[in-house]
């Protein structure tokens, strides 16, 4: 028995109409996928398969949490995910993926393994930016980051515009526009504005 046999959906042997399949993706699933982005989680999956004469429509609904590294402190954090999407499957000579929603599988196989598709759906559900809630980041890491973000003014005095980082709020580096603008940028901006 292969490591992803549980995620095979029979197509050829299924009758016309709608059929449901339920899966629970746990740490064992993520370990088998062996990808660096997500290695732990708990995601419930419901697949509704609708068979017609020529195609199979798979409707996916995923909901749960995965552990990902925090973009700010790099500690693991729990990230909620939710996904709804479709995949159309049809038979052909060889396996191919025509686009994001249409897959062709060999008719001799008669089934599709959805393990990797489920993982792709999870990855697509993770926001591009993921950080701990305020106060949840690793204190030692945020202290080190704050230390490296303090800028010195021309008088070698500390610029305290980054004090809000110590409270674990969003990192935003703001430039002091009045002091640090190179006058050549104004000339370039005038050229753009006049065209």
- Specify the number of domains making up the chain: 2
Answer yes or no: do 32 and 64 share one domain.
Answer: yes
Q: Is residue 146 part of a domain?
A: yes
Q: Is residue 11 part of a domain?
A: yes
CA distances from residue 59 to 10, 15, 150, 157, 170 in whole angstroms, order as listed = 15, 17, 50, 60, 36
**Do the beta carbons of residue 166 and residue 144 sit within 8 Å?**
no
The SS3 of residue 191 is helix
Place of tokens 């990808």: 35
Spatial CA neighbour of 29 closest among 51, 53, 5: 5
Q: Is residue 130 part of a domain?
A: no
Answer yes or no: do 23 and 117 share one domain.
Answer: yes
Structural domain for 157, as ranges = 139-194
Q: Is residue 166 part of a domain?
A: yes
pLDDT reported for residue 172: 42
pLDDT reported for residue 108: 84
pLDDT reported for residue 136: 86
pLDDT reported for residue 120: 94
Answer yes or no: do 13 and 96 share one domain.
Answer: yes
The SS3 of residue 57 is strand
pLDDT reported for residue 60: 97
Answer yes or no: do 112 and 22 share one domain.
Answer: yes
pTM for this entry: 0.71
Answer yes or no: do 112 and 143 share one domain.
Answer: no
Q: Is residue 132 part of a domain?
A: no
Q: 147 phi and psi, to 5 degrees?
A: -60, -40
Q: Is residue 40 part of a domain?
A: yes
CA triple 178-181-187, angle to 5 deg: 120
d(CA 47, CA 55): 16
Answer yes or no: do 174 and 118 share one domain.
Answer: no
Please tell me what DSSP assigns to residue 133: P
Answer yes or no: do 158 and 120 share one domain.
Answer: no
Answer yes or no: do 104 and 44 share one domain.
Answer: yes
Answer yes or no: do 31 and 78 share one domain.
Answer: yes
Q: Is residue 133 part of a domain?
A: no
Going residue by residue through the chain, which has 195 residues, state the pLDDT in tens, using 9 for 90 and above. Answer: 567 788 888 888 888 889 999 999 999 999 999 888 898 999 999 999 999 878 899 999 999 999 999 988 889 999 999 999 999 999 888 888 888 889 999 888 888 999 999 999 999 999 999 888 888 888 888 888 777 775 555 554 444 443 444 443 444 433 344 456 677 777 777 777 776
Token code pair at residue 150: 């303090």
d(CA 99, CA 13): 25
Of the residues 125, 157, 185, which one is the last residue of a structural domain? Answer: 125
Answer yes or no: do 43 and 68 share one domain.
Answer: yes
Q: Is residue 68 part of a domain?
A: yes
Answer yes or no: do 52 and 94 share one domain.
Answer: yes
* CB atoms near residue 189 (< 10 Å): 10
**Do the beta carbons of residue 109 and residue 93 sit within 8 Å?**
no
């Amino acid at each position: 028995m292969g490591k992803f046999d549980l995620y095979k959906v029979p197509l050829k042997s299924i009758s016309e109409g709608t059929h449901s399949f339920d899966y629970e993706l746990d740490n064992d699933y993520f370990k088998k996928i062996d990808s660096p982005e997500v290695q732990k989680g708990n995601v419930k999956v419901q697949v509704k398969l609708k068979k017609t004469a020529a195609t199979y429509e798979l409707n996916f609904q995923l909901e749960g949490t995965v552990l990902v590294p925090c973009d700010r402190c790099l500690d693991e954090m729990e990230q909620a995910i939710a996904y709804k999407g479709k995949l159309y499957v049809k038979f052909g000579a060889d396996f191919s993926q025509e686009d994001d929603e249409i897959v062709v599988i060999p008719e001799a196989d008669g089934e599709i393994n959805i393990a990797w598709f489920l993982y792709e759906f999870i990855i697509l559900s993770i926001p591009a930016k993921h950080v701990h809630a305020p106060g949840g980041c690793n204190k030692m890491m945020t202290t080190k980051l704050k230390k490296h973000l303090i800028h010195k003014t021309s008088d070698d005095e500390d610029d305290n515009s980054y004090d809000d980082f110590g409270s674990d709020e969003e990192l935003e580096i703001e430039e002091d526009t009045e002091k640090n603008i190179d006058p050549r940028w104004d000339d370039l901006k005038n050229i753009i504005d006049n065209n």
